[in-house]
């Protein structure tokens, strides 16, 4: 076992010790490589009731982001994990925003949240969240399972080459810019116990319990924005259901995370 894998295993054991007393049946698996931690837990969740499971990978070969975008991770340069657990909230709206709030609060006071699922540092993407749900095929009465996938850059990724005719894009950010020397195992221990507690709080209280915390980190608040379907206006925060509120020339519009992505103009 290489040193990176050994360190991640050590910290994963500490995560289990911190989480298991308050989450019966919780287990942790650490893999050197997998296609996608979310894909694997969704496969399991669709076939049977998924006990609370944390699946961590040193590297993913076919990681997935929102709307099918690829997430490629190399050993030591990022932390990628998925947390699967049965949840029975009264309302699922805003779950990915609550996850973002939890992660940002565990990371750094200056981390911001770009609706609906990105973490930003200094105006650049630091990480992303992918939340999926599944109904166990053989146990339809068991409720839904949430699979929360998280990818966080440790090292600052290189900017891909762009055609000379295109505007150069801002490079992504890495956590070592604000937390020098941070390693994947220590990062996992830093964020995971709080994330479990916040998911339990979301199940009991819904997104409304996170709305104020989100507003304090809202990267788009009062910014001119344009959605992928052409809607333009000023971002005015989010509602209690997690929808982005956009003030347009025709009035206030609520935008659902399932419909559009948002970019600053």
Kindly report, residue by residue over 202-214, the tens digit of the pLDDT. Answer: 999 999 999 999 9
pLDDT tens-digit readout, 74-132: 678 999 999 999 999 999 999 999 999 999 999 999 999 999 999 999 999 999 999 99
pLDDT at residue 65 is higher than 80: no
pLDDT at residue 67 is higher than 70: no
- Give the pLDDT of residue 42: 94
pLDDT tens-digit readout, 124-150: 999 999 999 998 755 555 568 999 999
- Dihedral sign (CA 102, 107, 112, 115): negative
Q: How many CB atoms lie within 10 A of CB 228?
A: 11
pLDDT tens-digit readout, 146-195: 999 999 999 998 865 655 544 445 679 999 999 999 999 999 999 999 99
Written in H, E and C, the secondary structure of the chain is: CCHHHHHHHHHHHHHHHHHHHHCCCCEEEEEEEECCHHHHHHHHHHHCCCCCEEEEEEEEEEEECHHHCEEEECCCCEEEEEEEEEECCCCCCCHHHHHHHHHHHHHCCCCEEECCCEEEECCEEEEEEEEEEECCCCCHHHCEEEEEEEEEECCCCCCCCCCCCCCCCCCCCCHHHCCCCCCHHHHHHHHHHHHHHHHHHHHHHCHHHHHHHHHCCECCCCCEEEECCCCEEEEEEECCCCCEEEEECCEEEEECCCCCCEEEC
Per the CB < 8 A criterion, the answer to whether 3 and 58 are in contact is no
Delineate the domains of the chain, giving CATH numbers in brackets.
Answer: 3-206 (3.30.930.10), 224-264 (2.30.30.100)
* C-alpha triplet 218, 224, 227: angle, nearest 5°: 90
């Amino acid at each position: 076992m290489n040193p990176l894998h050994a360190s991640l295993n050590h910290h994963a054991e500490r995560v289990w010790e911190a989480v298991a007393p308050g989450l019966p049946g919780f287990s942790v698996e650490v893999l050197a490589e997998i296609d996608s931690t979310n894909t694997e837990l969704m496969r399991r969740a669709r076939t049977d009731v998924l006990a609370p499971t944390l699946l961590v990978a040193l590297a993913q070969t076919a990681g997935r982001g929102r709307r099918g975008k690829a997430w490629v991770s190399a050993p030591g340069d990022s932390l990628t994990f998925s947390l699967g657990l049965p949840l029975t909230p009264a309302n699922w709206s805003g779950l990915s925003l609550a996850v973002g709030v939890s992660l940002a609060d565990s990371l750094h006071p200056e981390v911001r949240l770009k609706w609906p699922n990105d973490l930003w540092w200094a105006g650049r993407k630091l990480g992303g969240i992918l939340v999926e749900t599944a109904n166990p095929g053989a146990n339809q009465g068991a409720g839904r399972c949430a699979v929360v996938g998280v990818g966080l850059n440790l090292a600052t990724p290189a900017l891909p080459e762009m055609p000379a005719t295109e505007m150069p894009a801002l490079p992504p950010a890495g956590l070592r810019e604000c937390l020098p020397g941070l390693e994947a195992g220590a990062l996992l221990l830093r964020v995971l116990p709080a994330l479990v507690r916040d998911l339990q709080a979301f199940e009991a209280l819904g997104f409304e319990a996170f709305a104020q915390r989100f507003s304090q980190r809202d990267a788009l608040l009062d910014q001119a924005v344009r959605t992928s379907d052409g809607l333009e206006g000023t971002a005015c925060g989010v509602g209690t259901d997690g929808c982005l509120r956009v003030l347009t020339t025709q009035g206030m519009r609520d935008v659902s995370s399932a419909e559009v992505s948002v970019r600053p103009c």
